[in-house]
Every structure is written in structure tokens, then in C-alpha cells.
Chain A
Amino acid sequence: GAVVSQHPSWVICKSGTSVKIECRSLDFQATTMFWYRQFPKQSLMLMATSNEGSKATYEQGVEKDKFLINHASLTLSTLTVTSAHPEDSSFYICSARDENYGYTFGSGTRLTVV
């Protein structure tokens, strides 16, 4: 089946620094990658949809200059949290959709900003 590899699994960073999260589709081409975040006891909330070779589409309330998304190839999408603050601490997870395999999720990244 389809696999999406997400790294890192967890990261602790200082306020004001930037963190990059990578999602790679290992055995299929992910034209579209979805980025979600999940706060404790909350649902997964869609942050943005990225399409290979074009600008990401951000959901209302998500700052595109703070959460930089790059989808430069069919197998790699990255989310960079810039100038991270404690309120950005959350579980970030990517998902790719493939016509054959449906939706495949990365294993998630737990970000803690101190």
C-alpha cells in the first residue's frame, strides 16, 4: 500500500525559531498533500492544501507567511513553522490522496515550543 513518511516524529524548539516538517510519498506520486494540525482533545483541522508546482491554498485563519508550505516535487511536501511560539505547539500531520490508495497519512509530528 501507499506510504507517507513524515519527519521528524517530534521536535522541541525555542520560541522564535523555525521548524521544518517533511512528508515524502514513498511509493506513489502525491499531486496533492493536505496539512492538518490537531490540538489536544480537538479534531484534525485542515491548515492548507498543497499542489505540486503551485502555491498552497490556506484555510481561513491560517497565516501563510507563518506556515510556509513547499511542494516542489511529486514526492515531497514540507511545512515550515516560522518564528514558532508556544501556541503553535500541536500535532501536525500530512495526508496525501492517491486515486488507487485513497488517503494516506504521515505518522505526525508533535511540536513543542518552549
Chain B
Amino acid sequence: RKEVEQDPGPFNVPEGATVAFNCTYSNSASQSFFWYRQDCRKEPKLLMSVYSSGNEDGRFTAQLNRASQYISLLIRDSKLSDSATYLCVVNDVDMGYALNFGKGTSLLVTP
């Protein structure tokens, strides 16, 4: 299985800070890219899909660089409720439609 690599963190940031997460994937044939959020002992929840043109959803901005096989997530104006683990996820052709998850990056936003 091809790898999805993330910095595990933890990232400890104060409220209002901007924080960036990076991810690299090894399979150049990967087709779809996502950021998921996982709270402790819970199922992952889709945060946003990631497109080559970049996309933004409120305080969250995701970027994809296919040439570098690199994905990023930027969170602006961090809230306490953003504390969670952020999972970089890729859909590989050789896994059918199954998702390939990174280990996740832990974020703790403090008052």
C-alpha cells in the first residue's frame, strides 16, 4: 500500500493563531484528496475535499500540488473547537474506492 505521510505533531497553538498542516503521498496515480477531522474515539468526519486549484471553506484553505505530491491545510483564526486530529486522505486507484489515511496531525488550540 502506498504511503500518506503527515507530521504527527502535536501542534499547540493559541486561539486566533494560523496553523498549517502538510501531507505528502507516494502514489502519483492518486485521484482524490481529502482532509478529515477526527475527534478522540470518534469516527472521522470530512472537513473538505482538495482540488488542484485550491479551495477555501471559511477559515479553512486546502491546496494540492500534484507535481510535488503535496497537500496542505491552513486554518486561520483557530478556535478551541478546532482541537482534533486532522487526517490527510487519498483515494488510490489500486485500492478501488477505499480511502488511504495518513496517521493524522494532532492540533490543540489553547485559550
Q: Which residues of chain A are near B97, meaning CB under 8 Å? A: 32, 34, 97
Return the contact of B1 from the options A36, A59, A103, A107 (Cβ within 8 A). Answer: A59
Contact of B44 among A44, A97, A102 (CB under 8 A): A44
Which residue of chain B has the shortest Cβ distance to A46 in the bound complex? Answer: B98
Check B96 for interface membership: any CB of A closer than 8 A.
yes
In the docked arrangement, what's the CA distance between A58 and B27, Å?
A: 20
Contact call B101/A43, Cβ cutoff below 8 A: yes
The contact string, 1 if C-beta is below 8 Å from chain A, for chain B 68-111, is 00000000000000000001000000011111111110000000
Q: Do A49 and B42 contact each other (CB < 8 Å), given the known contacts A42-B103, A43-B87, A59-B1?
A: no
Count, chain A residues at interface, CB 8 A: 24
Q: Would A95 and B104 count as touching, CB distance under 8 A?
A: no
Residues of A with C-beta under 8 A to B104: 43
- Find the A residue at minimum CB distance from B91: A103
**From A94, which residue of chain B is reached at the shortest CB distance?**
B43
Chain B residue contacts of A43, Cβ below 8 A: 4, 87, 101-104
A107 touches B98 (CB 8 A): no
Q: Mark A73-114, 1 if CB is under 8 A from B, else 0.
A: 000000000000000000101010100001101111010000
List the 7 closest A-B pairs by CB distance, nearest first. Answer: A105-B43, A43-B103, A43-B101, A44-B101, A108-B43, A34-B98, A46-B98
